[in-house]
Structure 1
């Protein structure tokens, strides 16, 4: 059994990396729906859903509550950052969830494969 120590630095680092990942996938989703967009706007979308995820995970909040809350915050941040009609915001939020899930699976799968590589 490996004992892991949780420090404020590790929590902050995890939150920042997760926020950057969510910002990247938010930009991909916005670009998919709106076309050519300013990538800096996506930097406003990623941090709050990342905080919701990290804090919810830290307090062992049920996924049945955590996922809808994160999606709601994500949609609110898309609406605030891109100032688009509700239908486009819903589309961007759904595409963001799909892109984040797929890219997360690919990145995690690659990490697992590299970690299990012999030698």
Structure 2
């Protein structure tokens, strides 16, 4: 008895330009939201416009790494480092506080992403 495996994704570079742009924009907005939550958690009242600049940085790295089939661990490392650079440049904090904000951004992104994925998985599997 053989087990049939169906891939979830047939290829990484096969998407249309509209699909790639839509993925980038939705990921950038999600990461902007989580960046604002992280900065607000650490620094208090901060402008939203800074988070709207921070979010697209790791989103661009994710899209480029996926499109060109690069090493995902290298992509994650590069995204976190560039996220920290953007946070330090925009919020003007010390390196220690910048690292803390970046760490909180990563944690909030993972937690909120996991919850959203779970909700979407439950919604998709609901009887129709």
Q: TM-score, length-normalised on structure 2? A: 0.87
2:52 aligned residue: 43
How many corresponding residue pairs? 119
Match of 1:108 in 2: 117
Q: Which runs of 4+ in 1 moved over 3 A?
A: 1-5
Q: Cα offset for 1:63?
A: 2.1
For 1:14 and 1:64, the matched residues in 2 are separated by 20
More helix by share: 1
Gaps of at least 5 residues in structure 2 are 1-5
Residue matched to 1:6: 15
Cα distance, 1:41 vs. partner? 1.0
List per-residue Cα deviations over 1:31-54 (Å, max 9, x = no partner). Answer: 111011111111110111100001
When the two structures are superposed, what TM-score results if normalisation uses the length of structure 1? 0.94
CA distance in 2, matches of 1:71, 1:11: 21
Q: Which has the larger radius of gyration?
A: 2
